[in-house]
Chain A
Amino acid sequence: MRRYSSIALVKIAIICGLVAGLTALAVHAVVWALFIAGLYNLAISGMEAMWRLYADRSPDAQASLAWPKSVRQGDEQTSFTLIVCALDEVEVIGVTLDKLVRQTHQRCQIIVSLRDHDTPTIEAVQAVRRRHPGCIDLVVGNYDESGKAAQLNGALPHATGDYVCPIDAECDVAPDLLRHVEALIRQTGADIVQGAVQLMNLGGRAREWFQAHNVLEYFAWYSSRMLFQVDAGFVPLGGNTVFVRSELARAAGGWPSTPTEDCAMGVLLCSRYGARVVAAFSPRLATREEVPPTIFHRKQGSLFWQRVRWLEGIFGELMRGYWWQMPTLRQKILAGYILAAPILQAISCALLPLALISAFVLKVPEGLTLFLYVPLIPLAVTMVSMLLALAQFGRSYRQKVRVGHFASIMFLTPAYQLILAAAAVWAVYRHYWGDGTWYRTGRGLQHRPAEPQVPAQAPAPSESPVPSEGAVL
Chain B
Amino acid sequence: MSTGTWVDPEADTVIIRIPRQAGPPAAREPRLRRWWRAHWSGFALLTPALLFAGAVTGWNLQGWPGRIDDDEGTYVAEAWAMLYEHHLSHYTYWYDHPPLGWAQIAAFGWLTDGFHRVYSDVMLGRQFMWCLTLVACVLLYVFCRRLGLRRVTGCAAVVLFAASPLALMYHRMVSLDNIGTVWLLAALAIAASRRQSLGAAFWSAAALAIGILSKETIVILAPAVVWVLWQHTSRRTRRWHLGIFGVTLALLLAGYPLFAALRDELMPGHGHVSLLRSLWWQFFARSGSGDPLAPGSMSNWMVHVWLGVDPWLAGAGMAVMIPALWVRRLRPAAIGLLIQVLVPFKCSYLPYFYVTSVLPFAAICVAGAFEVLWLRSGARRARRVSQGAAVAAAVALTAAAGPQWWGELSAQSRIAGDSSSLAATRWVEKNLPRDATVVTDDYIWPDLKTHGMNPLWEWKVDGDPHVNAVTLPQGWKSVQFVVLTPESAESLTQMPTLARAVSHSIVLKDFGQGITLREVLPGPLTRAATAAALNPAPPVSPLPPFPFRLTG
Question: Beyond A56-B240, A388-B240, is A284–B10 a contact (Cβ under 8 Å)?
Answer: yes
Task: List the one stretch of B183-191, B243-251, B504-512 in contact with chain A.
Answer: B243-251
Docked Cα-Cα span, A276 to B21, in Å, equals 7
User: Is the pair B9, A377 in contact by a Cβ cutoff of 8 Å?
Assistant: no
Docked Cα-Cα span, A67 to B21, in Å, equals 16
Across the interface, name the chain B residue whose C-beta is closest to A186: B19
**B234 at the A/B interface (Cβ < 8 Å)?**
yes
User: Contact check: which of A53, A60, A370 meets B4 at CB < 8 Å?
Assistant: A60
User: Is the pair B243, A385 in contact by a Cβ cutoff of 8 Å?
Assistant: yes
Nearest Cβ in chain A — how far from B255, in angstroms? 6
Q: Inside 8 A of B431's CB, which chain A residues have their CB?
A: none
User: Is the pair B255, A283 in contact by a Cβ cutoff of 8 Å?
Assistant: no
Nearest Cβ in chain A — how far from B20, in angstroms? 6
Docked Cα-Cα span, A373 to B256, in Å, equals 12
Docked Cα-Cα span, A69 to B10, in Å, equals 12
**B13 at the A/B interface (Cβ < 8 Å)?**
yes
Q: Inside 8 A of A233's CB, which chain B residues have their CB?
A: 21
Task: List the one stretch of B114-122, B194-202, B449-457 in contact with chain A.
Answer: B194-202
Question: Beyond A62-B7, A68-B14, A370-B258, is A188–B19 a contact (Cβ under 8 Å)?
Answer: yes
**A423 at the A/B interface (Cβ < 8 Å)?**
no
**B239 at the A/B interface (Cβ < 8 Å)?**
yes
**B379 at the A/B interface (Cβ < 8 Å)?**
no
Q: Inside 8 A of A284's CB, which chain B residues have their CB?
A: 10, 12
User: Contact check: which of B2, B199, B247, B248 meets A64 at CB < 8 Å?
Assistant: B2
User: Is the pair A69, B262 in contact by a Cβ cutoff of 8 Å?
Assistant: no
User: Is the pair B247, A58 in contact by a Cβ cutoff of 8 Å?
Assistant: no
Q: Inside 8 A of B255's CB, which chain A residues have their CB?
A: 370, 373
**B6 at the A/B interface (Cβ < 8 Å)?**
yes
User: Contact check: which of B9, B20, B21, B195 meets A62 at CB < 8 Å?
Assistant: B9
Docked Cα-Cα span, A56 to B242, in Å, equals 13
Question: Beyond A69-B14, A283-B10, A373-B255, is A63–B2 a contact (Cβ under 8 Å)?
Answer: yes
Across the interface, name the chain A residue whose C-beta is closest to B16: A63
0 or 1 for each of A346-383: is its CB under 8 Å from B? (1 = yes): 00000000000000000000100110010011001101
- Please report which residues of chain B, range 198-243, place their CB below 8 angstroms from some CB of chain A when the two chains form the complex: 198-199, 202, 234, 237, 239-240, 243
- Please report which residues of chain B, range 241-281, place their CB below 8 angstroms from some CB of chain A when the two chains form the complex: 243-244, 246-248, 251-252, 255, 258-259, 262-263
**A204 at the A/B interface (Cβ < 8 Å)?**
no
Across the interface, name the chain B residue whose C-beta is closest to A280: B9
User: Is the pair B21, A188 in contact by a Cβ cutoff of 8 Å?
Assistant: yes
**B22 at the A/B interface (Cβ < 8 Å)?**
yes
- Please report which residues of chain B, range 450-483, place their CB below 8 angstroms from some CB of chain A when the two chains form the complex: none
- Please report which residues of chain B, range 1-36, place their CB below 8 angstroms from some CB of chain A when the two chains form the complex: 1-2, 4-10, 12-14, 17, 19-22
Across the interface, name the chain B residue whose C-beta is closest to A54: B198
Nearest Cβ in chain B — how far from A229, in angstroms? 13
Q: Inside 8 A of A73's CB, which chain B residues have their CB?
A: none
Residue with the greatest number of chain B CB neighbours at <10 A, chosen from A68, A381, A396: A381
Across the interface, name the chain B residue whose C-beta is closest to A382: B247
* Number of chain B interface residues as a range: 35 or more
Nearest Cβ in chain B — how far from A368, in angstroms? 10
User: Is the pair B12, A57 in contact by a Cβ cutoff of 8 Å?
Assistant: no
Across the interface, name the chain A residue whose C-beta is closest to B248: A377
Residue with the greatest number of chain B CB neighbours at <10 A, chosen from A57, A59, A384: A59
0 or 1 for each of A42-58: is its CB under 8 Å from B? (1 = yes): 00000000000100111
Across the interface, name the chain B residue whose C-beta is closest to A369: B262
Docked Cα-Cα span, A388 to B6, in Å, equals 20
Nearest Cβ in chain B — how far from A373, in angstroms? 7
User: Contact check: which of B20, B240, B248 meets A53 at CB < 8 Å?
Assistant: B240
Across the interface, name the chain A residue whose C-beta is closest to B194: A58
Q: Inside 8 A of B247's CB, which chain A residues have their CB?
A: 377, 380-381, 383-384
User: Is the pair A66, B12 in contact by a Cβ cutoff of 8 Å?
Assistant: yes
Docked Cα-Cα span, A188 to B18, in Å, equals 8
- Please report which residues of chain B, range 490-513, place their CB below 8 angstroms from some CB of chain A when the two chains form the complex: none
Q: Inside 8 A of B7's CB, which chain A residues have their CB?
A: 62-63, 66
**A104 at the A/B interface (Cβ < 8 Å)?**
no
User: Contact check: which of A69, A180, A278 meets B20 at CB < 8 Å?
Assistant: A278
User: Is the pair A381, B202 in contact by a Cβ cutoff of 8 Å?
Assistant: yes
Residue with the greatest number of chain B CB neighbours at <10 A, chosen from A230, A383, A387, A388: A388
User: Is the pair B258, A57 in contact by a Cβ cutoff of 8 Å?
Assistant: no
Docked Cα-Cα span, A281 to B14, in Å, equals 13
Q: Inside 8 A of B197's CB, which chain A residues have their CB?
A: 57-58
User: Is the pair A366, B263 in contact by a Cβ cutoff of 8 Å?
Assistant: yes
0 or 1 for each of A169-199: is its CB under 8 Å from B? (1 = yes): 0000000000010000001111000000000
User: Is the pair A187, B17 in contact by a Cβ cutoff of 8 Å?
Assistant: yes
Across the interface, name the chain B residue whose C-beta is closest to A196: B9
**A257 at the A/B interface (Cβ < 8 Å)?**
no
Docked Cα-Cα span, A180 to B7, in Å, equals 16
Across the interface, name the chain B residue whose C-beta is closest to A58: B197
Docked Cα-Cα span, A187 to B240, in Å, equals 31
Question: Beyond A230-B20, A276-B21, is A366–B259 a contact (Cβ under 8 Å)?
Answer: yes
Q: Inside 8 A of A384's CB, which chain B residues have their CB?
A: 243-244, 246-247
Q: Inside 8 A of A62's CB, which chain B residues have their CB?
A: 6-9
Q: Inside 8 A of A69's CB, which chain B residues have their CB?
A: 12-14
User: Is the pair A376, B251 in contact by a Cβ cutoff of 8 Å?
Assistant: yes
Nearest Cβ in chain B — how far from A58, in angstroms? 4
Docked Cα-Cα span, A95 to B196, in Å, equals 45
Docked Cα-Cα span, A281 to B10, in Å, equals 9
30 pairs, CB–CB < 8 Å, chain A vs chain B = A53-B244, A56-B198, A57-B197, A57-B198, A58-B196, A59-B234, A59-B237, A62-B8, A63-B5, A65-B9, A66-B14, A68-B14, A68-B17, A188-B19, A188-B20, A188-B21, A188-B22, A282-B10, A284-B12, A370-B255, A370-B258, A370-B262, A373-B255, A377-B248, A377-B251, A380-B251, A381-B247, A387-B243, A388-B239, A388-B243
With A60-B2, A63-B6, A373-B255 given, name 16 new contacts (CB 8 A): A53-B244, A57-B197, A58-B195, A58-B196, A60-B6, A64-B20, A66-B12, A68-B14, A180-B12, A278-B20, A278-B21, A282-B10, A370-B258, A380-B248, A388-B240, A388-B243
Which 10 A-B pairs give the minimum distances between C-beta atoms? Answer: A58-B197, A384-B243, A59-B6, A188-B19, A63-B7, A66-B7, A66-B9, A380-B247, A366-B262, A377-B251
